[in-house]
Amino acid sequence: MPHEKSGFTRTWRAVDTVFEVFCILCLIATVLIVLWQVFSRELLSSSPTWSEESARILLVWIGFLGAAIGFREGAHIAVTFLVDKFPAMLQAVIDRGIQVLLIGFGLFLVVQGTQFVIDARMATLPGTGLPRSVSYLMMPVAGAMVILYTVLQAFGVSTKRYVEAGDAAELD
């Protein structure tokens, strides 16, 4: 049985790693595209037509990908000053309710994002010639990752990859 769990853990961590690397690559690509755009405009007196649109698409992707990573790390906004005063049983119920809401949010992103991708697949973006659906593609991907992270957390699996100094002291 432990072997199966480690196989499952390796699988979801591999998916998570690909997801995170893709997010980092989007960020690097955005920086390089914007640098090229500025260089071309200022020194060559001609900006490429695709650069602004590509950077905008990548920024949207980074926003959705980063939000999903924020859910993974538990970095989303949580107002706990009131909930912390409740009995432990009620806190657990509220935590489960929040997880249900997060799964609902992830499902919303998957369903609406998929619909946006389908609706926009025939239109093209003027600067790049890419299908307009590329702008919406990250919604269902980020939604699926929010669902994955929330389900894992609901079953007690720690999805955090990065531990802050204060959190590390609590773990000891």
Question: Is pLDDT larger for residue 13 or for residue 54?
Answer: 54
- Average pLDDT for the chain: 86
Residue 13 DSSP one-character state: H
CA torsion angle 57 59 61 66 (round to 10)? 180
Count CB atoms within 10 A of the CB of residue 78.
9
pLDDT in tens, 67-103: 898 888 877 666 677 778 888 898 889 889 989 999 9
Rounded CA-CA distance 153/151 in Å is: 5
Instruction: Compute the Cα dihedral for 110, 113, 115, 117 and give only its sign.
Output: negative
| pLDDT > 70 fraction of the chain, expressed in percent and rounded | 88
pLDDT in tens, 16-43: 889 899 999 999 999 999 999 999 988 8
Whole-model pTM: value is 0.80
Identify which of 38, 42, 60, 61 has the alpha carbon closest to the alpha carbon of residue 51.
38
